[in-house]
Every structure is written in C-alpha cells, then in structure tokens.
Amino acid sequence: MARRMPLVVVDVGGDPDRVTGLLNGYDDVHRDGPELAVHRVLLDTFDWRIRRAGGALSWCDGTLSWRDRATGHIDTVPQDDLPRWPADVVTGAVHDRLADACEVRILLSRVEIDLAVRRYRMLDDLDKTVAWIDLERGSVDSGTPVAIMLVRGVRGYDAEHARLLRRLAEDLGAPTADCDPADILYAAAGLEPGGYPGDHEVCLTPTMAANEAVARTCRHLLQTMRANEAGVIADLDTEFLHDFRVAVRRTRSLLGASKRVLPDLVRDDFRKRFKWMGDITTPVRDLDVFFLAIPAYAHAVARDDPAVLAPLVDVVAADQQAAHAALSEALLSQDYAELVSDWSETLDTLPTDDETTEAEDPIVEVARRRIWKAYRVVRRDGRAIDEDSPSEMLHRLRKDAKVLRYLLEAFGTVFDTDRTQVAVRELKRLQENLGAFQDAEVQSQELREFAIRIARRPNDADTVMALGILAGHIEQLQHDARAQFATSFARFDARDNRALYKGLLSPKAAR
C-alpha cells in the first residue's frame, strides 16, 4: 500500500508545547480523537545499506514502512513483529526494496522510541478535511526529547496544504523546512547514519610520509575490525566476518609492502600475529560461503525435492557453529586483546631503525614502487599459467591479485582517481574468475567429507545420491571457471590495461 499525499515533516525541536498552543488557537484546526501512544523502531543494516539505497525503514505498531528519502513516497505493509531479514516481509514493494538493498545482511533496530501522538485536522469553509497534522513527542533511549510535526495534505487540496505551511512558518517564526523524520530521531539518539568505517576512504596526500600513510590506513582497518567484532561473535550475519577478514588481509598486505617503512622486527611480529587471525577465520568463512550456496545448489540438482539436501544443511550448520565457537574464543582471548593493543600502540609511535630508510619518503613514491612490483608479480604469474598448470598456480595468482588490489585501494587516492578505479574494476574481473575456481575446489573437497558423514546415517540414501549429482555440478563449475581463465587473464594483460598501469604509476601520475 502506498501513500502519495503531500507530506512535510517539521522538526519542532524542544518546544512542542508552543506548537500545541499554536494549533489549539487556529479556528480551522481541530483535535481529532484522543492522544495515541505508539512505539516506533528505525531499522537498517549494520553498514546502513537501506540508507545508501535512498530509503528509511521504520516499524510502528504492526506496520512496516519504507520511505523514499528523495521523494517522500511511502510504501507500507502489515508486519506483526520486527523483521530480521527481507524474507520475513510478505512479497510486495517493501519486500523487494529490502531484498535489493540488504541482500544477506540482517536488519538491526537502530532507534526505538515511545511517542505520544496528537492528531489534528484542518477544515475548509464546507467543513471538509483539507490537511492532517500529527504532532509526535517523546524521548529516545538516551533521554533526548524529540518532537516532530507531520503536515500531510489531502488529494485535491494542495493549495490549502501550502497555505497551512506558510501560516505555520510565519507563526513559528522559522521556515517549515521539510526534514527526514529518521534523521531527527537519529540525531536525538546521537547516531550518525552511514557512519561505518568500512565505507570511508582514508584521506592521504601524495607528499605524506610513507610511515604515516601506512599507519593512517592501518588505523582505519583496525577500526573496521573493532566495529565488526561484536557482530562476528554474535554471528548475526555473514558480512560481519567478511568485513573483518578483509580488514585483516589488507593489514597483512600493507605489512608485507612496508619493508624499509616499518622495522623488520615489527613487520615480522605482526605479520605472524595477523596471519593467526586470518587462519582462525578461514574455516568459518568457507562454511559460510558453502551454506549460502546451498539454495542455488538445491535448485540445480534437486528441483523436484529441495528438502533432499536438508541433511547437508544440518551437517554444514553444525560444522559452522563449531568453527564459529573456536573463532569467538579467539576473539575473546588475551592473545587477541594484546594484538589489538600492541598494534594500536605501534601505529601511534611509528617506530624506526636503521632499516627504515623509506619511512619519511613521500607515500606517492613508495606506493608507486610497491604497486608496480605487485602488478608485475600478477602479470608474471598469470602468464606462466597454461592449460596444463596445476590448480596451485591459480591459487597463488589469486593471492597475488588480492595484494595488488589492496594496495591499489589503500594508496590509489594519491594517484589519478579515475584511472585507479578503472584498474581496480579490471582487476576485479580477474579476481571473480579466480574466486569462482577457488570456491568450487574448496566446496568440492568439503562436499566429499560431508557425503562420507551423511552416508553413515540411516535413511539418507536419497540425499547421498543427490550429493553425487551435486559433486558433478560443482566439478563442472570449477571446470567452467578454469576454461574461462585464459580469456579473463588475457583481458587483464591486454595492451590497454598495461598502458593504464604505466600511466597510473608514472612519475606524472601523482596528484
């Protein structure tokens, strides 16, 4: 259901009594019914995907509403309980917008507030309702008072709606600027919508000292890790671990590229400790990826009876829970606490010694050399692969490509931004191919182990047969990815892309 009536939201601030008195004094404005008590909840994903999609999602006493922030258009749907996933919402406009925006992310309650709502109607000379006014007042969890006035027009009476707004602006002594009601509540709660460190670009300048640029980037990555810790431990959704792992891997890549920028003893120590962190997260992530792929696999090999893969779901879920318990124990351990503390102190002090001969060099020069070296490694290892090359060579190339991409994304802002974005985009195409090959190989190995365990259980013969079909399906996916590699790498190694890297990393490319 959609509302298309003109709506203006006014932040009344901390003086709702003045507005109440004002409305009570208008001859053509009348109270409509008793004061109502409502409970409103603003929802979004951890990384604010709904807001980035241009929406604002709220739940109020059994109704879920999606408001388009640009147009004010509202779609609503009955919803008895707070939804956790888009799948919890019945099919329709709100469900579709949520599914597109959230993908695999869980919905979180961002702000909850109890409001007292007084409703007024404005009548014309014929006693017809030409506008509605809702005055909402309450306080958020922090105790900050909130008051919002919603002035909603009635179809066919736009002129009367506009006159009411002009009258309110004049009597309030301030313009009735249209606000977003979600922004008002977020501000009262002390939240900054969109304030997720993983979405923010680190500000670097070409002349910044290399050690300071590395430290600033690593601090940002550490903030991303810390921001996702609680979500990883609570196992809210798979993206918490994904973002945590990416921050860990990027940190390891920067440490690897910081020779002569940070002391070798410091680099070796933290590379080993961050490798431990990366290793402990790998089993959970591999199982997450497998679990998320099961619906597609069920559709591919068991369309007539998707439930035949239910035993596989149970086994994967049990293994994921066990791996997650080990990861949570690691994140709550003294070793992890000391890693975070020691790394933060190191980034603040920026130690140097006789080996750190490039610590004070401009980051643009250091980054140019490191990125060019990483690019040449990818090009060399990729060119060495032919039809008979073992899979290990593709896996090594996949790691090489990750290092190149992380360096481009970490330091690309000190070069030509447009060229950097093109370079990353072309590299992503190659990574997608290598990632598909890697995922299929890992899942093929995992599936064999799952099948052996399931075969030992009684009454699962149909599932074992389905797993045999699935094994063939995954092997075909791996074969297809392998067959596509030559084309994918040829595009990356094309003359235009080689020229792009040369132009990007030439001395004239720095901003």
What was the pLDDT predicted at 255? 97
Q: How confident is the model at residue 473 (pLDDT cuts 50, 70, 90)?
A: very high
**Length of the chain in terms of residues written:** 511
- pLDDT tens per residue, range 322-377: 999 999 999 999 999 999 999 999 999 999 999 999 999 999 999 999 999 999 99
Q: What's the token pair of residue 262?
A: 């940070």
What was the pLDDT predicted at 176? 64
* pLDDT higher than threshold 60 for residue 308: yes
Neighbours of 296 (CB within 10 A): 10
Q: Which amino acid is at 424?
A: V
Question: Hey, what domains does the chain have and what are their CATH numbers?
Answer: 2-189 (2.40.320.10), 197-509 (1.40.20.10)
Mean pLDDT across the chain:
92
8 A C-beta contact, residue 119 and residue 133? yes
- pLDDT tens per residue, range 220-248: 999 999 999 999 999 999 999 999 999 99
Lowest mean pLDDT among 77-91, 175-189, 416-430: 175-189
d(CA 10, CA 18): 14
What was the pLDDT predicted at 301? 86
Burial of 332 per CB tally in 10 Å (0-12, 13-18, 19+): exposed
- DSSP H helices in 173-209: 181-189
What was the pLDDT predicted at 184? 86
Lowest mean pLDDT among 1-10, 82-91, 266-275: 1-10
Q: How confident is the model at residue 507 (pLDDT cuts 50, 70, 90)?
A: low
HSE at residue 472, side-chain half, CA atoms within 13 A, is 7
* pLDDT higher than threshold 70 for residue 14: no
Q: How confident is the model at residue 510 (pLDDT cuts 50, 70, 90)?
A: low
Q: What value does the mean pLDDT take over residues 398-413?
A: 94
* pLDDT higher than threshold 60 for residue 463: yes
Q: What value does the mean pLDDT take over residues 17-37?
A: 91
pTM of the model: 0.89
d(CA 130, CA 113): 29
Say what percent of the chain tops pLDDT 70. Answer: 96
Q: What value does the mean pLDDT take over residues 280-287?
A: 96
* pLDDT higher than threshold 90 for residue 261: yes
3-state SS string for 120-163: EEEECCCCCEEEEEEEEEEEECCCCEEEEEEEEECCCCHHHHHH
Place of tokens 């901390």: 14
Tell me phi and psi for residue 56, to 5 degrees. -140, 125
- pLDDT tens per residue, range 55-84: 999 999 999 999 998 888 889 999 999 999
Say what percent of the chain tops pLDDT 90. Answer: 76
Q: What value does the mean pLDDT take over residues 252-268?
A: 97
What was the pLDDT predicted at 15? 74
Lowest mean pLDDT among 182-186, 194-198, 442-446, 491-495: 194-198
Beta strands 29-31 and 108-123: pairing type? antiparallel
Percent of residues in the chain assigned helix, strand, coil, to nearest 5: 60, 15, 25
Q: Which amino acid is at 468?
A: G
